[in-house]
Amino acid sequence: MTTAPTLPEPGDASVADRVQISRRFIQHARDELNRGHRLQASEKAWAALAQIFKAHGQQRGWLNLTSHRTVGQIARQLAAEYGDLDISEAYIAATEAHENFYENYMRLPQIKATITTIANVLPRLESALGEPPRPYTIREEDLWRLQTLTGKQNLEVGDESPTGFSNRHQSTAAANGAAR
């Protein structure tokens, strides 16, 4: 059994704290699965992915990171921004695992596959935290999500951002313009 990272102290979680919590939860998911605790393994797998998504939202200064809905919005935005279907697949798997915690319908092999799917995408999501957000152009299906995440109701379809509509990052051009 691998030792899970220590849990950060209670309080406002930093991006680094959320990464550490995510690592801890994915290890707990594996440990619970090895013990045959299907429901706990399912919930820990969901939590591992939710924490890394919340780290992205926090890093970008997005709003209302406390809801399940926001976790889904972040997942969809990152999948669109990075063009990464594995992010979408992991989010769907994690959502099913979260439902399983309440409904108890998944068997051990299915939960193991879910944990593997989530564990495989976590390093990429963690690595992406070390990079600036990617350029993005709002499509019709993105508008409400980005307005909600950013709190900017004036966004429109076709608006572009060199930094993925982050509230905390700004492009070099925008920074130079602001300095004038």
Q: Is the pLDDT of residue 11 over 80?
A: no
pLDDT interval class at 98 (50, 70, 90): very high
Give the pLDDT confidence score for residue 171 in this predicted structure: 53
For the segment 124-165, what is each residue's pLDDT rounded down to a tens digit? Answer: 999 999 998 999 999 999 999 999 999 999 999 999 999 999
pLDDT interval class at 13 (50, 70, 90): confident
Buried b (16+ CB within 10 A) or exposed e, 79-110: bbbbebeebeebbebbbbbbebbeeeebeeeb
Q: Are 75 and 69 in contact (CB under 8 A)?
A: no
Give the pLDDT confidence score for residue 143 in this predicted structure: 95
Both tokens assigned to 173: 């051009």
For the segment 15-66, what is each residue's pLDDT rounded down to a tens digit? Answer: 999 999 999 999 999 999 999 999 999 999 999 999 999 999 999 999 888 8
How many residues would you count in the chain?
180
Cα separation, 54 vs 64, whole angstroms? 10
Report, as an integer, the average pLDDT of 164-172.
77
**Which domains does the chain show, CATH number per domain?**
15-131 (1.20.120.330)
Best CA proximity match to 149, nearest among 87, 79, 61, 86: 61
Give the pLDDT confidence score for residue 175 in this predicted structure: 41
Give the pLDDT confidence score for residue 66 in this predicted structure: 84
Q: What are phi and psi of 137, to 5 degrees?
A: -115, 130
